Amino acid sequence: MKDFPSCFGENGVQVADSSSSSTNKSAQNVVTCVYQCRVGGSSRLITVTWSKNLMGQGLGVGIDDSSSQSLCKVDIKPWGFSKRRGCKSLEVHSCKVDVYWDLSSAKFGSGPEPLGGFYVGAVVDGQMVLLLGDLRKEAFKKTNANPLPHNAALVAKKEHVFGKKLYGTKAVFCDNGQIHDLVIECGTASVGDPSLVIRIDSKTVMQVKRLRWKFRGNHTILVDGLAVEVFWDVHNWLFGTSLGNAVFMFRTCLSAADKLWASQPPSDLAWSFSERFPETKLQGLSFSLVLYAWKNQ
């Protein structure tokens, strides 16, 4: 299967390759989020990777220095032999970044991301450039940092979902927007022709019939007043091995230029954060969600 190009760029944190033939689900139980932040007076991308395997939960924090095209990375494994709270420092373009975390009381569900009881923060020059989690007061008390006037914006997310017929996740399509229940359903009608249905908050927003003829494509839906371009590639589900996965991408279209860019076929997509998100474009960022859907056996 020809996968969508990675939305995290060549310098991003590498996670499990969706085209891998590995049958170990824990290898794909990874969620990667990319945030646009202000670091040292410039726009930077901070990548937060949550993982889960037989050893427990894991956390990785990477900072992409777009000016020098390099990656600074902090790997944090709060379970096992590492502490569940702590701090690490790294240099990004002659700028010191302190990464703080406290997962000692974190609550987890079935996925790798914590549901609550935690914080992860990045501090530069006494300012909190990124803060995740619900323990905000504890984070500011620990770091003695001041909040920035502009919060970090989530610009991309990549995760793996599993199911037999239904594949679900939570999705937010704009900064500080509503949390939606997103469900993808792939089934076979009585005549034996597979179909694809996408629902948001139990409402059908897209349906693809004769899926064997339309196993790749794109369609625009409307969510929270935003145009969201949906790309799908279910070739491996229909014609590949039983271990194959489908790929879905949901991308908000905030302008005519974004709409034109998003209308290109999936095979032509080329995502580069250093090009798509220059330093001056901090407001009005579009958002991309990439889902790898694996069938349970």
In a domain, 252, yes or no: yes
Name the residue range of residue 29's domain.
25-151
Q: Which residues pair with 169 in a beta bridge?
A: 182
Residue 282 confidence (pLDDT) above 70 = no
152/266: higher pLDDT: 152
The chain-wide mean pLDDT, for the chain, equals 76
Band of residue 267 on the pLDDT scale cut at 50, 70, 90: very low
Among residues 102, 130, 151, which one ends one of the domains? 151
In a domain, 73, yes or no: yes
Cβ neighbourhood burial of 90 (10 Å; 0-12, 13-18, 19+):
middle
H or E element, residue 218: strand 216-223
What are the tens digits of pLDDT across the range 178-187? Answer: 889 999 998 7
Q: How far is CA 205 from the centre of its chain?
A: 21
> How far is 277 from 32, CA to CA, in rounded Å?
18
Instruction: Tell whether 174 and 139 lie within a shared domain.
Output: no
Q: What is the DSSP letter of 263?
A: T
183, two tokens: 């469900």
Band of residue 245 on the pLDDT scale cut at 50, 70, 90: confident
What are the tens digits of pLDDT across the range 83-102? Answer: 688 899 887 777 888 999 99
Instruction: Tell whether 167 and 64 lie within a shared domain.
Output: no
Residues in the chain: 297
In a domain, 156, yes or no: no
pLDDT at 281: 36
In a domain, 62, yes or no: yes
Q: Total domain count for the chain?
A: 2
Instruction: Tell whether 165 and 285 lie within a shared domain.
Output: yes
Instruction: Tell whether 176 and 276 lie within a shared domain.
Output: yes
Query: Residues of the chain with pLDDT > 90: what percent?
Result: 33
Band of residue 275 on the pLDDT scale cut at 50, 70, 90: very low
In a domain, 18, yes or no: no
Instruction: Tell whether 144 and 201 lie within a shared domain.
Output: no
Radius of gyration of the chain (CA): 19
In a domain, 7, yes or no: no
pTM, two decimal places: 0.77
In a domain, 10, yes or no: no
Q: Report angle CA 256, 155, 107 to the nearest 5 degrees.
A: 150
Amino acid letter, 116: G
Query: Which residues make Cβ contacts (< 8 Å) with residue 213, sequence separation at least 6?
Result: none
Instruction: Tell whether 95 and 59 lie within a shared domain.
Output: yes
Among residues 116, 151, 186, which one ends one of the domains? 151
Instruction: Tell whether 145 and 170 lie within a shared domain.
Output: no
Instruction: Tell whether 143 and 244 lie within a shared domain.
Output: no
What are the tens digits of pLDDT across the range 108-148? Answer: 888 889 999 999 999 998 999 999 999 999 999 999 999 87
In a domain, 111, yes or no: yes
Instruction: Tell whether 128 and 45 lie within a shared domain.
Output: yes
Instruction: Tell whether 250 and 142 lie within a shared domain.
Output: no
Instruction: Tell whether 53 and 139 lie within a shared domain.
Output: yes
Among residues 90, 120, 151, which one ends one of the domains? 151
Residue 24 confidence (pLDDT) above 50 = no
Instruction: Tell whether 129 and 31 lie within a shared domain.
Output: yes
